[in-house]
Structures are given as structure tokens and as C-alpha cells.
Chains A and B, each alone.
Chain A
Amino acid sequence: MTGHVRDFFVPDLGEGLEDATITSWSVMVGDTVELNQTLCTVETNKAEVEIPSPFAGRIAELGGGEGETLNVGAVLVRIETEAQLPAETKRKPVLVGYGADEEMDDSRRGPRHTSTRPRAKPPVRKLASELNVDLNELVGSGADGVITREDVLASAGRSAPSADMVAVSGVRAEMARRMSLSRREIPDAHATVEVDGTNLLRLRDRMREQTGDDVTVTPFVLTLRLLTIALAHHQNLNATWVDTTAGPQIHLHSAVHLGFGVAAPRGLLVPVVKDAQDKTTRELAGVVARLIEDARAGTLMPTELQGSTFTVSNFGALGLDDGVPVINYPEAAILGMGSLRPRPVVVDGEVVARPTMSLTCAFDHRIVDGAQAAAFLTELRGLIEAPELALLDL
């Protein structure tokens, strides 16, 4: 007879039974047995129990000899049978049922990719879903990293980066941040004067003859020196707007810490000349030269990039005639210097060629009004066009 060999296990015959001893076999290997025919007698405690065959077939193998003790669940006998029966699960019957089924602790679930869930309140999630914002991409600005409505609104409309885009980081990111802040917070206005630089240049030439190559006195340096004088007379351009517990205040700075823009390899840097008002022209030239060198080399200390009370943007050195610089938040004003080169001017009713440059002052209109800006720029122009008059206040 060909067919399946089925295992029949030692059944559980009583509470807590763990094994049974075969006292006698009623069949041998090779015997044909009928359904329910007694296979053997097993002994449990004091009782002897006959085990009926669960299927008809031929005895293929006995699980143990007479007198041998087998554990419950061990193979008692193997019967070759034609019957096709489904695979059995080995469950140990209990008083009231089939017994525990280990398969109940199995799972059909596949592995899942786990990620930390973004934390956001229900209405915020709904908003995000409506605006097509992926909460997983946001960093929450609320307490405990909770994503707020503002975070979602700010993120809305953003698109995903593509290959031809460059990430904004480092110096550029900082510049972007500061520029945005300035424009957002400060209601700025600007005013421009055209300055005749003839005397400034003559002064520069004369000083250079004196100092030689040790010290570089440039029109820029001279302008800075004269600027400190003008700022001393127009203090509210050397100020900052402050929101205090007692309401908004204008902080008038007694010292002039001049910041000036330098185009460095990393981007725009603004080194600061501390206490420019106390420096001589010679000293100022030295400091400016060193700061420019360090800026370009990338060796400026962080403290040298902080603390300005007034900033100058010399875009003229870059070849620009005119421009409106962005105020270096939270300062009251910024001075932009255009290029110094010959331009037609009217002198004594005649058009002549003179070296000129434009000076544009962008100012915080909460602190400075047009008249004050005009007065400041007028004085500065006067000083640049007739530098010897600066001696009056030295």
C-alpha cells in the first residue's frame, strides 16, 4: 500500500500528565490496523488506558518498546495510510478545549518602515493636508518640537529642490537672513548726495607721499575718518531701535563702531572697526587694511564681525556708480559709496570734469527723518569736499 506515513502522538490523557509508559503493544510493525483498533495500552499513574488507532492503515513504526516511557506529544506510532489529512497542530488539550495554540501569536504582517511621527495638533494636520505640506519635512517651532500652524503656512507653496538648484547655507544663508530681517523690520528711506572728490584725492596723494607703502590711505579710509566726525554731530544716525519693556527706545551710541562690507571668497563679510572715533587716520588705514586682508583670507575672528553701530558699503570699489544699500539691522542707517571717477559737474556756471562719487544714506525712518538725513549728508559732503575744515573739531 502506498500512501502517507502519518505520525500519531502520545495524547494528553489527564490533567498535568507529562508522559506515559507503554505497558503493552497490541500491534507490530507491518500489521494492518482498522480505525479505532486498539494499538497499545499505556499507563498513567494508576490507570491503564487503551489507545485506539486514529486511522486505518499499516503500522510503519512503533514509537517505543514495552515498558518504555514516552513524553506526551512524542511520536507513539507511525501509520502508513491512504487518507489525506490536513497537517496537525500540536496542541495540548485542557479540561475545556483544544488547548493553547501558539499560532495565535504569529503574525502575517510584513516588516514596516518605522519613522518618528511629526507632532502636530489635529487642526494643524488638517491644514497641512489641505495645503499639501508634508509634516515629516518640517521642523516644529512650538514647544517640544510641535509643528504649529505658522510652520505649516510658512512651508506652504514650497516646492521640492531639483538638480539645478544650489542649497543656501553658511555665509549666504546668514546674509539672506539678515537682509530679510532688515527689510522686514525697518521702514527705510534713502537720500543721496553727489560729492566732488577733488580735494579728497589731493589729500590722499599728499598723505601717500608722506607715508609711503607702509600705510594705505585710500579715499575710502579718508571718508571713514570724516564719517566719524559727521556721526558725532548727528548721533541719531549712530543709533539702534530697541523694543524694551517700557516701550520702544532709541539707543544712541556714543562710540562709533564702523562696519564695512568686504567681498570675500565665502561671500559678503562685514568686519567692524571698533571705536573708529578714537582712531587716527593712520591707525584707521592700518586697521581697515588688516581687516580686509583677514576677511579675504577667512581668518577674521567672530568678534570682529559683530558690534557695529554704523555700516558703510563701498560698492563704488566694485565699479558701481549708484546704489541703495540694505541697512545692517538693527542699525539706524547705512552709507553706500559709489565709484569715484571723473564726471561732468557745473562750477561757476561752467561744465567741467571733476572726480565725483555718490553717497547714499539708507536710514530707519522711525529714528531718522529726511531733514536729519539731509543735515548729516550735507555735513559729510562738506567735509569730503573741504577736508581741511575737519580740523575745526579736532
Chain B
Amino acid sequence: MAGIDATPRTSESQLGVELDPIQLVAPDGTPTASSISSKYRRNLPPETLAWLYESMVVTRELDTEFVNLQRQGELALFASCRGQEAAQIGAAACLPKTDWLFPQYREIGAFLLRGLTPAQMGAVWRGKWHGGLNFTEKCVAPISIPIGTQGLHAVGAAMAAQRLGEESVTLTFLGDGATSEGDTHEALNFAAVFNAPCIFVVQNNHWAISVPVSRQQAGPSIAHRAIGYGMPGIRVDGNDVLACYAVTAEAAKRARGGGGPTLIEAITYRMGPHTTSDDPTRYRSDEELEYWAARDPIQRYRTYLQAEGVWSERLEERVAAKSKRLRAELRESTVNGDDFDITDVFDTVYHDITPDLLAQREQVLAEIAMEAGA
């Protein structure tokens, strides 16, 4: 008979959430002196440090190109991640590329890191196809528009990894708004109950369209929710790429060792609108923007790298060249790329198309033929 376990897995004394977010690099670029944070300090090789920098800058450049393209009418819409580069890149960078990622939709930084192409990323915003074309080749799930639903998929994937005997970790990105959704609660609960090797990275960018995080939850922090589920909860400065890297790496190590899931709250800020066509001036102040601009993740990290002797003009040139190349790729694939055929919509619904759907497919082809002949 499967055991009825009366003792809880985690005791009250084991769990506590530090309200002060973990930080290794202060907004002004200087190393943070803090006893708690110091245990996260790593000695990453210069190549890795430079790679993190390059990834963040290229992400921002690509993000800008996306916004431009939308303003020029080439994209249906775009959800900018400006200001959140450190949170997502730091988290994704510490994982091997075979660990699965389950994004929401504001994670082009993570996509870039995994080697997804601008064309792949752009397809959904262009309206060329849904989701994420061939994302799974890079162990990335397609984007999830229904908020917070992907947490459960990540937990399921992590439970599958357990059964497949992998040592992998599954990571999902959620927004602060997503933490209000029932599915997020269920995902955290399941992950804890099944001790799934799943990391929940909440990018708390303070805004869900126009609703502030203070309206999403009334507890001390998002990370504090972890206590109730019986898993560790960690707050991290989401604009500090090294801190995000370190905290996620620790959570990954714990999960790989059978220690179960972790809830990470990365505190960051959505510098741009929710999507293009949103006007943030209607609900937030210039002062707030200025406050967060002063905490920009790229600016502070550049200053830090300069002090560490990792930054150079050559690095900057290399980064600029890559940005330019990827921006051009995005523009080219978006503006000059062909649409798919409508028949693809019919052919991809089922593995075995049904007779009725086949007939409908014929109908749309006939309509197209009629229009062509008219």
C-alpha cells in the first residue's frame, strides 16, 4: 500500500525567505558587500562574463528592432523585454542547453541565448505562425499566451525527466501577474508534492499591463509564497545578471541532486509598454521610470566589467556587429519572408487528418481558386 506520510516533507524551521534580494553588482556597477549575497559569489571565467554582456546588449538591440518594425507596420504587435535582460539571461545562461525552458512571451533574451534565430522569434509577432517555430529543437517550449498556464507544463516536463532517468532541470518563466493565476498555484503545489526538478523564475517587472504588482498579491513578497508550498523561495535583484545567474545555478544544483523545486523572484522592471499600442503614461509616472532607468542592468554590468578589465573596445565592436547582423536578419525575415500556405493550418491539426477536415481543406482551396479566377 502506497504510504500515507503524516510528516510534512519540509518543516517550518527549514523554510524562510529573505526579503532582501540577492545582489552581487550594485546599480552603480560596484560589487555588493553583503554577507548573504557573498555566498553566491562565483568566479565565472571572463569568456562567460563577456558572453553574458554580449547577450544582454544584443537582446536589447534586437528588442529595439522589433519595436521599430511594429511602428513601421511590419509586425502585428510586440511585447518588449527592455529592462529585463539580466533576469532572463542570467537565469537561462547557467543551464545546459538540454534543460528545457517554458517561457511566457517576453523572453527573447532567453531565446537568443539558446540559439533561436531572429526569424524564429519574429514569426509569432509577424503573425506568420503561432507560438514558436521549431523552438523545441533547442529544448524551448513555444510561447504561452494564456497567462501562467505554462508552469504546469514545466512541472509535467520535470516529472517526465524524473521518469526518463535524466539529471536535467526544467525552468519556467512567469510574470508577477501570472502568480495570481490558479494554474501557477497548482503548478507550484504539484512541483513541491512530487519533488519535481523544476525552477520557477518569476520576472517581477512590477506591471501586468496597467495593474501593479501590489494588486497581484498582499504577502510580503512573491517569493514568500514558496513557504506555503514547502519549497525554497529566493528573491534576487533581477537587474543584476550575475546574481540571477548564481541564484538559478544554485536552484538547478539542488534540483539535479533531488532536492526538488525552487521559486525565484527576480525583481526587475518593464521599461517599455506591455505591448506596442499600450500607453504606460496613463498609469505610471516618469519618476518611476527614471528610478528604474538608474538601475539599468546593462549599464551597471558594463561598468562592472570595465572595472574587472573584461570590457574592451573590441568586445563592444563585436557586440555591435552581432547586433547589427541579427537586426538585419530580423528585418529581412519579417519584411521579405513569405507567409505559409493556408493548407498548413489544416494539415497540422492532427497526425491523422479526419475525413471531414480534409473536405474543408478542399473548400478553402476552392475558394482561393475562385478568387484567383474572378
Interface residues of A (CB under 8 A from B): 8, 11-17, 35-36, 44-47, 51-52, 54, 85, 88, 91, 93-98, 108-110
B70 contacts across to A, CB distance below 8 A: 93
Q: How far is B328's CA from A36's CA once the two chains are assembled, in angstroms?
A: 11
**Min CB–CB distance A37 → chain B (angstroms):** 11
- The reply to whether A45 and B279 contact each other, CB–CB distance below 8 Å, is yes
- The reply to whether B127 and A97 contact each other, CB–CB distance below 8 Å, is yes
- The reply to whether A93 and B76 contact each other, CB–CB distance below 8 Å, is yes
B278 contacts across to A, CB distance below 8 A: 14-15, 95
Q: A15-B282, A51-B71, A108-B371 are contacts. A93–B277 as well, Cβ < 8 Å?
A: yes
A46 contacts across to B, CB distance below 8 A: 281, 286
Name the residue of chain B whose CB is nearest to the CB of A90: B73
**B272-298 interface bits toward A, Cβ cutoff 8 Å, 1 = contact, 0 = none:** 011111110110001000000000000
Within 8 Å by CB of A11, from B73, B77, B331, lies: B73
**B246-290 interface bits toward A, Cβ cutoff 8 Å, 1 = contact, 0 = none:** 000000000000000000000000000111111101100010000
A44 contacts across to B, CB distance below 8 A: 279, 281
- The reply to whether A52 and B68 contact each other, CB–CB distance below 8 Å, is yes
Name the residue of chain B whose CB is nearest to the CB of A109: B374
Q: How far is B374's CA from A95's CA once the two chains are assembled, in angstroms?
A: 35
B371 contacts across to A, CB distance below 8 A: 108
Within 8 Å by CB of B277, from A12, A36, A45, A108, lies: A12
- The reply to whether A98 and B127 contact each other, CB–CB distance below 8 Å, is yes
**B346-374 interface bits toward A, Cβ cutoff 8 Å, 1 = contact, 0 = none:** 00000000000000000000000011001
B72: interface (CB < 8 Å): yes
Q: How far is B139's CA from A2's CA once the two chains are assembled, in angstroms?
A: 48
* Sample of 14 more A-B contacts, CB < 8 Å, known A47-B281, A95-B277, A108-B371: A11-B72, A13-B71, A14-B273, A14-B277, A14-B282, A46-B286, A54-B74, A93-B73, A95-B274, A95-B275, A95-B278, A96-B76, A98-B77, A110-B374
Within 8 Å by CB of A54, from B72, B77, B273, B281, lies: B72
Q: How far is B72's CA from A110's CA once the two chains are assembled, in angstroms?
A: 35
Q: How far is B278's CA from A52's CA once the two chains are assembled, in angstroms?
A: 18
- The interface on chain B, measured as residues whose beta carbon lies within 8 A of the other chain's beta carbons, has a size of 25
- The reply to whether A13 and B77 contact each other, CB–CB distance below 8 Å, is no
- The reply to whether A17 and B71 contact each other, CB–CB distance below 8 Å, is no
- The reply to whether A14 and B281 contact each other, CB–CB distance below 8 Å, is yes
- The reply to whether B77 and A108 contact each other, CB–CB distance below 8 Å, is no
Q: Can you list 6 A-B pairs, Cβ within 8 angstroms, ordered by A?
A: A14-B282, A46-B286, A54-B68, A94-B277, A95-B274, A108-B371
A93 contacts across to B, CB distance below 8 A: 70, 73, 76-77, 276-277
- The reply to whether A15 and B370 contact each other, CB–CB distance below 8 Å, is no
**Min CB–CB distance B292 → chain A (angstroms):** 15
- The reply to whether B68 and A36 contact each other, CB–CB distance below 8 Å, is yes
- The reply to whether B281 and A88 contact each other, CB–CB distance below 8 Å, is no
Q: How far is B127's CA from A88's CA once the two chains are assembled, in angstroms?
A: 16
- The reply to whether A15 and B279 contact each other, CB–CB distance below 8 Å, is yes
**Min CB–CB distance A245 → chain B (angstroms):** 58
**Min CB–CB distance A291 → chain B (angstroms):** 69
The 10 nearest A-B residue pairs measured at CB: A14-B279, A54-B72, A97-B76, A98-B76, A108-B371, A52-B68, A95-B277, A108-B374, A47-B281, A93-B277
Q: Which of B219-257 contact A (CB under 8 A)?
A: none
**Min CB–CB distance A5 → chain B (angstroms):** 16
**Min CB–CB distance A106 → chain B (angstroms):** 11
**Min CB–CB distance A71 → chain B (angstroms):** 16
Q: How far is B68's CA from A108's CA once the two chains are assembled, in angstroms?
A: 34
Q: How far is B335's CA from A35's CA once the two chains are assembled, in angstroms?
A: 13
**Min CB–CB distance B276 → chain A (angstroms):** 7
Q: How far is B281's CA from A17's CA once the two chains are assembled, in angstroms?
A: 12
B73 contacts across to A, CB distance below 8 A: 11, 54, 88, 91, 93, 98
Name the residue of chain B whose CB is nearest to the CB of A89: B73
Q: How far is B273's CA from A8's CA once the two chains are assembled, in angstroms?
A: 23
Name the residue of chain B whose CB is nearest to the CB of A8: B72
Q: Which of B316-363 contact A (CB under 8 A)?
A: 331, 335
- The reply to whether B370 and A108 contact each other, CB–CB distance below 8 Å, is yes
Name the residue of chain B whose CB is nearest to the CB of A86: B335
B74 contacts across to A, CB distance below 8 A: 54
**Min CB–CB distance A192 → chain B (angstroms):** 74
Within 8 Å by CB of A15, from B71, B72, B77, B277, lies: B277
A98 contacts across to B, CB distance below 8 A: 73, 76-77, 127
Name the residue of chain A whose CB is nearest to the CB of B371: A108
**Min CB–CB distance B208 → chain A (angstroms):** 13
Name the residue of chain A whose CB is nearest to the CB of B209: A95
Q: How far is B71's CA from A188's CA once the two chains are assembled, in angstroms?
A: 95
A11 contacts across to B, CB distance below 8 A: 71-73
Q: How far is B126's CA from A97's CA once the two chains are assembled, in angstroms?
A: 9
Name the residue of chain B whose CB is nearest to the CB of A11: B71
Name the residue of chain B whose CB is nearest to the CB of A14: B279
Q: How far is B370's CA from A13's CA once the two chains are assembled, in angstroms?
A: 39
A16 contacts across to B, CB distance below 8 A: 279
B65 contacts across to A, CB distance below 8 A: 36
B274 contacts across to A, CB distance below 8 A: 95
